[in-house]
Structure 1
Amino acid sequence: MRWFNLGLRFVLELCAFAALAYGGWHVPGPTWVRILAAVALPVAGAVVWARWVAPKASHPIPDPLRLVPEWVVFGGATAALLLTGHFVLAGVLALLAAGNRWALHALRTGTGGDPA
């Protein structure tokens, strides 16, 4: 069960970055602004993730403070989906991300797969 939840978490991270790129592409403005936003938003999310949340983060934050950058990324992705009119996808992403985080906590598993 632990490995399933860790695999799901990885897929959800990729979905969050894709949602940020999609949201960036739908920013109003000229094409160059849309391209810039479509690249910058997921890169910013990836930097936040790599710095504080990833299993080999450069500056890992212990639980429960780790929830802050996690929800910045997942919340931003959910907001991007909401703002582009994908209400069901936004709800699914938010519920799966929250449920997955709860399952990892219940299994006493850290986000890197280590026992918490």
Structure 2
Amino acid sequence: MKLPGPLHVFNEGLAFLLELAALAVLAWWGWDAADNVALRLLLAVSAPAVAAVTWGLFAAPKARIPLPLPGVLAVKALVFGAAALALHALDHPSAALAFAVVALLNTALATADRQAAMRRGA
């Protein structure tokens, strides 16, 4: 299913915002996960850094290590799932569910759109 132009642009923008939100939530979780300030800083920096590096290596459009589609989807599920779990751990279960549903729908639409574009040679 090829998305119409404006919906394609909207979905791609939403994907970027979801990626940024995942990093922010992971940083928030890291800060909240410990009492010691040094450990808070370590977790608040390292949790989103690990997610960003993993995404950049395997799931980004210009990934350093290109994976087949199932691998890319697994990385996206890992990062978005970690963010949803972090929101839940931060006592925001409704936000966690909403984030997970929006990320899932966005990824499904983007995947279908990209596959349709590849079939058409675009």
Alignment of 1:4 with 2:6, yes or no, is no
Note the alpha carbon deviations across 1:37-58, whole angstroms, 9 max, x for none.
Answer: 0000000000000000011110
Measure, in 2, the Cα distance between the counterparts of 1:31 and 1:63: 40
Letter of the structure 1 residue corresponding to residue 39 of structure 2: V
Measure, in 2, the Cα distance between the counterparts of 1:63 and 1:8: 20
Structure 1, unaligned runs of 5 or more: none
Letter of the structure 1 residue corresponding to residue 49 of structure 2: V
Measure, in 1, the Cα distance between the counterparts of 2:99 and 2:68: 24
Letter of the structure 2 residue corresponding to residue 52 of structure 1: F
Structure 2 match to 1:40: 46
Deviation at 1:29, TM superposition (A): 2.9
Structure 2 match to 1:74: 80
Structure 2 match to 1:49: 55
Structure 2, unaligned runs of 5 or more: 1-6
TM-score, normalised to structure 2, is 0.86
Computing the radius of gyration from Cα coordinates, the structure with the larger value is 2
Give the SS at the match of 2:58: helix
Letter of the structure 2 residue corresponding to residue 65 of structure 1: G
Measure, in 2, the Cα distance between the counterparts of 1:89 and 1:7: 20
Alignment of 1:9-28 (within 5 A): 9-28=15-34
* Identity %, equivalent residues: 38
Moved over 6 A (4+): none
Deviation at 1:89, TM superposition (A): 1.3
Structure 2 match to 1:30: 36
CA RMSD in angstroms, aligned pairs only: 1.5
Alignment of 1:83 with 2:89, yes or no, is yes
Measure, in 1, the Cα distance between the counterparts of 2:23 and 2:117: 26
